[in-house]
Chain A
Amino acid sequence: MSFLNSSDELRYRSYYTRSFDHFYAEESVAEHPAVLRAREVAPDIPFEMLRSREEVPAEHRRARTLLAVGGRGNAVGRCPGTRGHICCNYLTVDLYTGCNLGCSYCIMQSYLNFSPITVRIDTQDSVARLGHIARLNAGRLVRAGTGETGDSLWLDPLFNISAEILEGIREYPNLVLELKTKTDFVDHLLGKVDPAQVVFGFSLNPTQFAEVEEPATVPPALRLAAAERSVQAGYRVAFHFDPIVRSAATAEAYAQLCTELGRFPSEQIAWISMGTIRYPKELRDALPDRPYLLDEFVPARDGKYRYLQRDRVELYRAMLKQLRAVTSAPVYLCMESDVVWRRVFGGEPQELPELRRLFEDLEVPSVGEAQ
């Protein structure tokens, strides 16, 4: 097992065996190196090959089932920015659908009641499309991420897909892949992938909140420790305060988390994002009754429910001040309105020299346009 060291082998073998009861793979990818690797890492998960995903037995359509699928074709899109809000100008690569880390605010909770965790094994088309976009935008920074519909690194020590993508995009220096996670599963990549093209992104929330609301994730302190290992190995990291949840208990804890970022050299923090908790109305019923959801939310211009604008601005300003005291890394807002941007930063991202490069307009051709 070349890509894991022996202590990681033990750790991940037991971790994934505890996480899954069944492992299915579609015939078309059953012999794919990524699937073979996964079977080697966790040989105790009962494995079965299927002609197609429809054959997963009804009683196994749940989060404790892992399903590797083929399905070439486009999995690269733009980050789903919303009406009237400024999107973070990001390309998304859909590798994973589902996650059972159990964050109470995540819509995956309702999705998972009837679906296995699905991994799109074949990344060739996605790599080709990323390459095409990178060529079209030569000279501009193209940011892509795999953490839109699942955690980028949660299953990576099993399939090692990120390394494959990174290998595929090596010839496009303006393309950066962010691996966004609530785990500390970075060690299998450190020293093995090119630091110029990868950013390890860690979502951060206060420990007390994470313990209750992100129960199966790796505790924030360990995520920070993984960030430190990444930095020491010469990689850049990113931090995402998202979702920011306010309460009497969390205010102080966020301040402390911001302070902790001071131990990272600014030049090795690629970016930091902030986004207060939000949800579309139709998903409210699917979310459990958690105390933080009983705060005051109002529909913003994109229809998503957020804290009152004035309260969001206050939260962001306070956090920005704490961050500015310890780092000069670029800080941006995730899915916020132009008004909030102006109130917090004094301008929209393209008007701010430190953010202009991250928010440069990208040319993203529609699928099927000549590559």
Chain B
Amino acid sequence: MSRLSNSVFSVSPAALLSGASTFDIFHRTSGVCVGTERLRRGLYAPFPVIGHPGQGAVTLVWGFAAVREAAAAGLETLNCIGIPDSHASALEIALEFEQRPGEFSPAEQYALWRLLKAAEPVASDVVTRIGSLLGSSGAAFQARMRRFESLPNAVRQAVLNESIDLKTAERCRALPEECLLRLSEPSYRDAGLSFSNTRQLLTLLREIWLRDGLAPADCLMLLDGALADSDPVAYLRRRRYPELVKREQRFEELRRETTAGSGVELSAPPYFEGDSFELRCRFSSRAELIRRRDALLEIEDRFDEFLELL
């Protein structure tokens, strides 16, 4: 790292933490874990700072978590190294220390973007290097951030707290604000939905909202109803695809009524596309065979009801 000056100096953890917290933007566990013992024994790369204790306050550029750990462990000083007073190169150095391309949270990326934007004009090669330290390209990083900035506030918040990803956010940005705000509330996070379930849930909600022309309050009520259900996605799917779900339920009923306990497995073609049902069974005794046969006779009796579904 040629941008670091050569002289190492000592600064107390308290002084480091009382300086500006401008660069305290990384909140996921760092890829480089220092650990109290190594801090105590001085086995670590000096912490990058802007400024020098002899000339006033210093600004810690990277290592806030480790410095807090050192303060809690009662260490008196930590080795530091001065870097040029430029936000862009400070960010680059901080990212080099982080060493986790591709694993930065949306909040971290956005904080970084805001710092970059506030910095002096940033050369494009710096943006390129920062992009690659983030695990993409400079252009992709910029494009992602611009897309993010074009979202309404409520959706941005949901992306920052990782309730939804950027793509889902863009798709659902037009939902009533009440619903979007819900995504940042504990009740939503408590539902414990995965990214993919969230995407499905919001896509369904958005389509129902558009199709039925729901008022914002009704849309919110629908979302709340879904979140209160044990399977929020299935809840909305029933409303979005009433015909399909009706057929699935009818098939389930028929299957249960004709084959329950018989050892015969009966399945319908996916999405009821096709003209044949599938039956599977095994038997190893006469009694089993008779049970299977009775189930088949039952199916035959109700053949028309099955056929109705396709």
Residues on A lying within 8 angstroms of B by beta carbon are 285, 289, 291, 294, 296, 298-301, 308-311, 337, 339, 342-343
Q: Is the CB of A339 within 8 A of B274?
A: yes
Q: Are A294 and B211 in contact (CB under 8 A)?
A: yes
Alpha-carbon distance between A289 and B171 when the two chains are bound, in angstroms: 11
Contact B243 A311 (CB under 8 A): yes
A294 touches B274 (CB 8 A): no
What is the CA–CA distance of A337 and B272 in the complex, to the nearest angstrom? 13
- Knowing A299-B271, A308-B272, A309-B273, say if A294 contacts B244 (CB, 8 Å): no
17 pairs across A/B with beta carbons < 8 Å? A294-B210, A296-B240, A296-B241, A296-B243, A296-B244, A298-B271, A299-B270, A300-B273, A301-B273, A301-B274, A308-B243, A308-B244, A309-B271, A309-B272, A309-B274, A337-B273, A342-B275
Distance to closest chain A CB from B234 (angstroms)? 16
By Cβ-Cβ distance, the 4 closest A-B pairs, closest first, are A298-B271, A294-B211, A339-B275, A309-B273
Instruction: List residues of B (267-307) whose CB comes within 8 Å of A's CBs.
Output: 270-275
Complexed CA–CA distance, A342 and B274 (Å): 11
Enumerate chain A residues within 8 angstroms of B211, measured Cβ to Cβ: 291, 294
B310 contacts A by Cβ under 8 Å: yes
Asked if B247 is at the interface of the complex by the 8 Å CB criterion, the answer is yes
In the bound complex, do residue A308 and residue B247 qualify as a contact, i.e. CB atoms below 8 Å apart? yes
B207 at the interface (CB under 8 A from A): yes
Q: Is the CB of B207 within 8 A of A294?
A: yes
What residues on A are CB-neighbors of B210 within 8 Å? 289, 291, 294
Known: A299-B271, A309-B272. 20 other contacts (CB 8 A): A291-B210, A291-B211, A294-B211, A296-B241, A296-B243, A298-B271, A298-B272, A300-B271, A300-B273, A301-B274, A308-B244, A308-B247, A308-B271, A308-B272, A309-B274, A310-B309, A337-B273, A339-B274, A339-B310, A342-B275
Q: How far is the CA of A129 from the CA of B303 in the complex (A)?
A: 52
Cβ distance A145 to chain B, nearest Cβ, rounded Å: 28
* Chain A, Cβ-Cβ closest to B208: A294
Q: Taking A289-B210, A298-B271, A339-B274 as contacts, is the C-beta distance between A309 and B310 under 8 angstroms?
A: yes
- A144 → chain B closest CB, angstroms: 31
Given the interface contacts A294-B207, A296-B241, A296-B244, does A310 sit within 8 Å of B274 by beta carbon? no
Q: How far is the CA of A296 from the CA of B242 in the complex (A)?
A: 8
Bound Cα distance from A310 to B309, whole angstroms = 8
Whether the pair A310, B271 counts as a contact (CB closer than 8 A) is no
Of B240, B247, B271, most buried by chain A (CB within 10 Å of CB) is: B271
CA distance A337 to B276 in the complex (A): 13
Structural contact, B273 and A298, CB atoms closer than 8 A? yes
At the interface, is chain B mostly helix, strand, loop or mixed?
Answer: helix
Contacts A294-B211, A296-B243 given; does A285 touch B171 at CB 8 Å: yes
A-chain residues with CB within 8 Å of residue B247 when the two chains form the complex:
308
Q: How far is the CA of A66 from the CA of B60 in the complex (A)?
A: 58
**Across the interface, which residues of A come within 8 angstroms of B273, CB to CB?**
298-301, 309, 337, 339
Interface residues of B in 223-272 (CB under 8 A from A): 240-244, 247, 270-272
Within the assembled complex, what's the spacing in Å between the Cα atoms of A218 and B210?
Answer: 29
B310 touching A310 by the CB < 8 A rule? yes
| Closest CB in chain B relative to A291 CB, distance in Å | 7
B171, B243, B247, B273: most-surrounded residue (chain A CB, <10 A):
B273
Chain B residues in 8 Å Cβ range of A311: 243
In the complex, what residues of A have CB within 8 A of residue B240's CB? 296
User: How far is A228 from B275 in the complex, measured between Cα atoms in Å?
Assistant: 41
**Cα separation A289 to B309 with both chains bound (whole Å):** 29
A285-B247 Cα distance, complex, nearest whole Å: 27
In angstroms, how far is the closest chain A Cβ from the Cβ of B307?
10
B209 nearest CB neighbor, chain A only: A294
127-183 of chain B: CB within 8 A of chain A: 171
A300 to B272, CA, bound (A): 9
Give A342 Cβ to nearest chain B Cβ, in Å: 8
A311 to B272, CA, bound (A): 11
CA distance A289 to B244 in the complex (A): 21
Distance of A285 Cα from B171 Cα, bound (Å): 9
* Bound-state Cα–Cα, A339 to B273, Å: 8
Measured between beta carbons, the chain B residues less than 8 angstroms from A289 are 210
Complex Cα gap A234–B207 (Å): 48
A184 to B247, CA, bound (A): 43
Give complex CA distance A311, B273 in Å.
Answer: 11
Let me know if B244 and A310 touch, CB within 8 A.
no
Chain A residues in 8 Å Cβ range of B244: 296, 298, 308
Per the bound structure, the CA–CA distance linking A343 and B308 in Å amounts to 13
Neighbouring A residues of B270 by C-beta, 8 Å: 299
Whole-angstrom CA separation of A105 from B40 in the bound complex:
66
From the candidates A310, A342, A343, name the one contacting B272 in the complex (CB within 8 A).
Answer: A310
Shortest Cβ distance from residue B249 to the other chain A in the assembled complex, whole angstroms: 14
Chain B residues contacting A342 (CB-CB under 8 Å) are 275
Q: From residue A190, how far is it (CB to closest CB) to chain B in Å?
A: 43
A202 vs chain B, min Cβ distance (A): 30
* Min distance, Cβ A92 to any Cβ of chain B, angstroms: 26
Shortest B282–chain A CB gap in Å is 28
Residue of A nearest to B171 (CB): A285
Nearest chain-A residue to B207 (Cβ)?
A: A294
Name the residue among A299, A300, A308 with the largest chain B CB count within 10 angstroms: A308
Nearest CB on B from A343, distance (A): 8
Q: Which residues of B contact A300 (CB under 8 A)?
A: 271, 273
Query: In the assembly, what is the distance between CA of A294 and CA of B203, in Å?
Result: 11
Residue of A nearest to B243 (CB): A296
